[in-house]
Amino acid sequence: MYSQLKLDNQICFRLYTASRLITQAYRPLLEPLGLTYPQYLVLMVLWENDHQLVSDISKRLVLESNTITPLLQRMESEGLVVRTKGTADKRQTLVSLTRKGIALQDQAKDIPDCMTAAFSDCTPSQEEAMVLVHTLDSIIKYLKNND
Q: What is the pLDDT of residue 91?
A: 84
In terms of pTM, does the model score above 0.85?
yes
pLDDT tens digits, one per residue of 24-36: 999 999 999 999 9
- Whether the per-residue pLDDT at 123 is higher than 70: the answer is no
Q: What is the pLDDT of residue 116?
A: 81
Structural domain contains residue 141 = no
State how far the Cα of 34 lies from the Cα of 145, in Å rounded to an integer: 34
Please count the structural domains in the chain.
Answer: 1
Structural domain contains residue 37 = yes
Structural domain contains residue 146 = no
* C-alpha 113: how far from chain center: 17
pLDDT bin (cut points 50, 70, 90) of residue 147 is low
Structural domain range at position 27: 9-114
Any idea what DSSP says for residue 49? S
Q: In the sheet that 81-85 helps form, which strands lie side by side, from edge to edge?
A: 52-53, 93-97, 81-85
Mean pLDDT, to the nearest integer, of 51-74?
94
Mean pLDDT, to the nearest integer, of 35-52?
97
pLDDT bin (cut points 50, 70, 90) of residue 125 is confident
Where would I find the H helices in the chain?
11-30, 37-48, 54-61, 65-77, 99-108, 111-118, 126-145
Structural domain contains residue 124 = no
Structural domain contains residue 80 = yes
- The CATH number of whichever domain residue 26 belongs to comes to 1.10.10.10
Structural domain contains residue 24 = yes
Instruction: From 107, 86, 108, select the one nearest 96 (Cα to Cα).
Output: 86
Pairing of strands 81-85, 52-53: unpaired
Whether the Cβ atoms of residue 45 and residue 61 lie closer than 8 Å to each other? yes
